[in-house]
Amino acid sequence: MEQQTVKCEVKNLNLWYGDNHALKDVSMDIYDKSITAFIGPSGCGKSTFLKTLNRMNDLVPNVKIEGTVLLDGEDIFSPKCDPTMLRKKVGMVFQQPNPFPMSIYDNIAYGPRIHGIKKKAQLDEIVETSLKGAAIFDEVKDRLKKSALGLSGGQQQR
Protein backbone atom coordinates (compact mmCIF):
# COMPACT_ATOMS: atom_id res chain seq x y z
CA MET A 1 0.00 0.00 0.00
CA GLU A 2 1.30 3.46 -0.98
CA GLN A 3 1.93 5.85 1.92
CA GLN A 4 -0.18 9.01 1.76
CA THR A 5 1.45 12.43 1.85
CA VAL A 6 0.23 14.88 4.48
CA LYS A 7 -0.85 18.08 2.72
CA CYS A 8 -2.05 19.96 5.81
CA GLU A 9 -1.08 19.24 9.41
CA VAL A 10 -3.12 20.83 12.20
CA LYS A 11 -1.79 20.72 15.78
CA ASN A 12 -3.56 21.97 18.91
CA LEU A 13 -5.57 24.60 17.04
CA ASN A 14 -7.67 26.89 19.24
CA LEU A 15 -9.70 29.86 18.06
CA TRP A 16 -11.69 32.42 20.00
CA TYR A 17 -14.16 35.03 18.78
CA GLY A 18 -13.81 37.37 21.76
CA ASP A 19 -14.73 35.18 24.76
CA ASN A 20 -16.29 32.43 22.62
CA HIS A 21 -13.87 29.48 22.36
CA ALA A 22 -15.01 28.27 18.91
CA LEU A 23 -12.28 25.69 18.15
CA LYS A 24 -10.78 23.63 20.97
CA ASP A 25 -7.51 21.71 20.59
CA VAL A 26 -8.11 20.55 17.01
CA SER A 27 -5.38 18.24 15.71
CA MET A 28 -5.53 16.31 12.46
CA ASP A 29 -3.77 15.50 9.20
CA ILE A 30 -5.34 16.19 5.82
CA TYR A 31 -3.86 14.05 3.08
CA ASP A 32 -2.91 15.04 -0.45
CA LYS A 33 -5.18 13.78 -3.23
CA SER A 34 -7.85 12.59 -0.83
CA ILE A 35 -11.32 13.63 0.25
CA THR A 36 -11.88 14.84 3.80
CA ALA A 37 -15.40 15.50 5.07
CA PHE A 38 -16.34 17.63 8.07
CA ILE A 39 -19.67 16.54 9.47
CA GLY A 40 -21.43 17.91 12.52
CA PRO A 41 -24.35 19.93 13.81
CA SER A 42 -24.86 23.60 13.07
CA GLY A 43 -22.54 25.79 15.11
CA CYS A 44 -19.95 23.11 15.94
CA GLY A 45 -17.07 24.91 14.16
CA LYS A 46 -16.89 23.33 10.68
CA SER A 47 -16.93 26.64 8.78
CA THR A 48 -14.73 28.33 11.38
CA PHE A 49 -12.14 25.57 10.94
CA LEU A 50 -12.23 25.82 7.15
CA LYS A 51 -11.93 29.63 7.26
CA THR A 52 -8.88 29.19 9.46
CA LEU A 53 -7.13 27.10 6.78
CA ASN A 54 -7.00 30.07 4.39
CA ARG A 55 -6.86 32.74 7.11
CA MET A 56 -10.25 34.24 6.33
CA ASN A 57 -10.66 34.56 10.10
CA ASP A 58 -7.89 37.20 10.02
CA LEU A 59 -10.59 39.57 8.77
CA VAL A 60 -12.83 39.01 11.82
CA PRO A 61 -12.49 41.52 14.70
CA ASN A 62 -11.42 40.17 18.12
CA VAL A 63 -10.33 36.78 16.80
CA LYS A 64 -7.48 35.00 18.60
CA ILE A 65 -5.80 31.90 17.17
CA GLU A 66 -3.33 29.54 18.84
CA GLY A 67 -1.78 26.36 17.52
CA THR A 68 -0.09 25.29 14.32
CA VAL A 69 -1.33 24.75 10.79
CA LEU A 70 1.26 23.56 8.29
CA LEU A 71 0.44 23.54 4.57
CA ASP A 72 3.08 21.69 2.56
CA GLY A 73 5.27 21.94 5.67
CA GLU A 74 4.98 25.75 5.90
CA ASP A 75 3.37 27.50 8.90
CA ILE A 76 0.39 29.47 7.57
CA PHE A 77 0.53 31.79 10.61
CA SER A 78 4.19 32.69 10.05
CA PRO A 79 4.88 36.36 9.24
CA LYS A 80 6.49 35.02 6.04
CA CYS A 81 3.14 33.61 4.87
CA ASP A 82 1.25 36.08 2.68
CA PRO A 83 -2.50 35.51 3.26
CA THR A 84 -3.30 36.53 -0.31
CA MET A 85 -0.94 33.91 -1.73
CA LEU A 86 -2.30 31.34 0.75
CA ARG A 87 -5.85 32.02 -0.47
CA LYS A 88 -4.71 31.29 -4.02
CA LYS A 89 -3.77 27.78 -2.81
CA VAL A 90 -6.66 27.21 -0.39
CA GLY A 91 -9.87 28.27 -2.09
CA MET A 92 -13.29 28.13 -0.56
CA VAL A 93 -16.86 28.13 -1.85
CA PHE A 94 -19.54 28.79 0.75
CA GLN A 95 -23.12 27.60 0.80
CA GLN A 96 -24.20 31.12 1.74
CA PRO A 97 -22.76 34.28 0.16
CA ASN A 98 -19.77 35.55 2.12
CA PRO A 99 -18.52 38.91 0.79
CA PHE A 100 -15.38 40.51 2.18
CA PRO A 101 -16.00 43.50 4.48
CA MET A 102 -15.13 45.96 1.71
CA SER A 103 -16.88 47.74 -1.16
CA ILE A 104 -18.89 46.00 -3.88
CA TYR A 105 -16.24 47.11 -6.39
CA ASP A 106 -13.34 45.81 -4.28
CA ASN A 107 -15.05 42.44 -3.73
CA ILE A 108 -15.29 41.89 -7.48
CA ALA A 109 -11.85 43.34 -8.25
CA TYR A 110 -10.16 41.24 -5.52
CA GLY A 111 -9.57 38.16 -7.69
CA PRO A 112 -8.22 40.02 -10.72
CA ARG A 113 -5.98 42.15 -8.46
CA ILE A 114 -4.33 39.17 -6.79
CA HIS A 115 -3.70 37.76 -10.26
CA GLY A 116 -1.78 40.90 -11.24
CA ILE A 117 -4.34 43.18 -12.87
CA LYS A 118 -3.69 46.69 -11.54
CA LYS A 119 -4.95 49.13 -14.19
CA LYS A 120 -8.11 50.90 -13.07
CA ALA A 121 -9.64 50.93 -16.56
CA GLN A 122 -9.18 47.17 -16.87
CA LEU A 123 -10.59 46.56 -13.37
CA ASP A 124 -13.54 48.88 -14.11
CA GLU A 125 -14.34 46.83 -17.21
CA ILE A 126 -14.09 43.52 -15.32
CA VAL A 127 -16.33 44.79 -12.52
CA GLU A 128 -18.96 46.11 -14.94
CA THR A 129 -18.90 42.96 -17.10
CA SER A 130 -19.15 40.73 -14.03
CA LEU A 131 -22.08 42.66 -12.59
CA LYS A 132 -23.88 42.69 -15.94
CA GLY A 133 -23.31 38.95 -16.28
CA ALA A 134 -24.95 38.49 -12.89
CA ALA A 135 -27.83 40.78 -13.95
CA ILE A 136 -27.18 43.13 -11.04
CA PHE A 137 -25.27 46.06 -12.59
CA ASP A 138 -28.27 48.40 -12.88
CA GLU A 139 -29.18 47.72 -9.23
CA VAL A 140 -25.73 48.56 -7.81
CA LYS A 141 -23.94 50.81 -10.34
CA ASP A 142 -24.44 53.87 -8.11
CA ARG A 143 -23.27 52.04 -4.96
CA LEU A 144 -20.02 50.40 -6.09
CA LYS A 145 -18.00 52.14 -3.35
CA LYS A 146 -20.46 51.08 -0.62
CA SER A 147 -19.99 47.95 1.49
CA ALA A 148 -20.94 44.65 -0.13
CA LEU A 149 -22.31 43.62 3.27
CA GLY A 150 -25.20 46.02 2.61
CA LEU A 151 -26.41 43.98 -0.37
CA SER A 152 -29.40 41.71 0.08
CA GLY A 153 -28.75 37.97 0.35
CA GLY A 154 -29.98 37.46 -3.22
CA GLN A 155 -27.75 40.24 -4.53
CA GLN A 156 -24.73 38.82 -2.69
CA GLN A 157 -25.42 35.39 -4.13
CA ARG A 158 -25.49 36.70 -7.69
Give me the DSSP letters along 29-83.
EEETT--------TTSSHHHHHHHHTTGGGGSTTEEEEEEEEETTEETTSTT--H
Q: How far apart are the first and last CA of the chain?
A: 45
What percent of the chain stands above pLDDT 90? 69
The reported pTM is 0.65
Under CATH, domain 6-81 is a member of which superfamily? P-loop containing nucleotide triphosphate hydrolases (3.40.50.300)
Residue 86 CB neighbours (<10 A): 19
Spell out the domain ranges in the chain. 6-81, 104-157
- The predicted-structure confidence for 111-155, as pLDDT tens digits, reads as follows 899 889 999 999 999 999 999 999 999 999 999 999 998 888 888
